[in-house]
Amino acid sequence: MPYIDLDGIDLRILSALQADGRLTNQELADQVGLSPSPCLRRVRRLERDGFIRTYRAVLDRESVGLGLTVFVDIKVEKHSRENAKGLQEALTALPEVVACHMVSGSADFMAEIVVPNLKAYERLLTEKLLTLPMIGDIRSNFALTRVKSDAALPLTHLRREGAKPEPDC
């Protein structure tokens, strides 16, 4: 595990911002038990150190017309670093790919794709994915119901045993 220097207040800040990234600094400070200035300094440090990557709105897929989620297992043709890198670049460039992981097992990559409907997925598959020369095999799994998505990251593994909140200087 990489070196992580977070105390209890930092963890409360991260948890609060994961729950609601639109909190004002005053609201956040009240929630974590700090005054606004030290709270803002901590948030800026968490941003600078890469713990907080960005802030954004999470849209409802159905409301914006993206009713079909497909999990696509992709095998690379003729395993090579160049083919894997080329596939990563191609998948990253597709806006329909909302998440993608290099995996071990029967596939090399697993992509989460969102599209309006089955016809749109068919077009994406035939006109874009299947035209990529580095793809050897594709298996599509269609989501029937989204049970959990866009969840906050669990941070309980970062809590120090018996640690008390540290005052901010």
DSSP 106: S
Strands 109-115 and 97-102, sheet pairing: antiparallel
CATH of the domain at 130: 3.30.70.920
- Choose among 19, 20, 9: nearest CA to 42: 9
**Predicted pLDDT of residue 119:** 98
Computed from CA positions of residues 55, 61, 65, 70, in that sequence, does the dihedral angle turn out positive or negative?
positive
**Predicted pLDDT of residue 169:** 42
**Predicted pLDDT of residue 101:** 97
Domain containing residue 100: 68-142
**Predicted pLDDT of residue 166:** 52
Query: Residues 82, 90: contact at Cβ < 8 Å?
Result: no
Residues 76 and 46 in one domain: no
Residues 130 and 74 in one domain: yes
On whether residue 135 sits in a domain, the answer given is: yes
> What is the number of domains present in the chain?
2
> Structure pTM?
0.84
CA gap 50, 73 in Å, rounded: 30
What does each of the 169 residues of the chain score in pLDDT, given as a tens digit? 455 789 999 999 999 999 999 999 999 999 999 999 999 999 999 999 999 999 999 999 999 999 999 999 999 988 888 999 999 999 999 999 999 999 999 999 999 999 999 999 999 999 999 999 999 999 999 999 999 998 899 998 887 655 554 554 4
Residues 74 and 133 in one domain: yes
Q: How far apart are the first and last CA of the chain?
A: 28
Burial of 10 (0-12, 13-18, 19+ CB in 10 A): buried
Residues 52 and 72 in one domain: no
CATH of the domain at 51: 1.10.10.10
Neighbours of 70 (CB within 10 A): 18
On whether residue 152 sits in a domain, the answer given is: no
Residues 97 and 46 in one domain: no
Residues 53 and 72 in one domain: no
Residues 47 and 91 in one domain: no
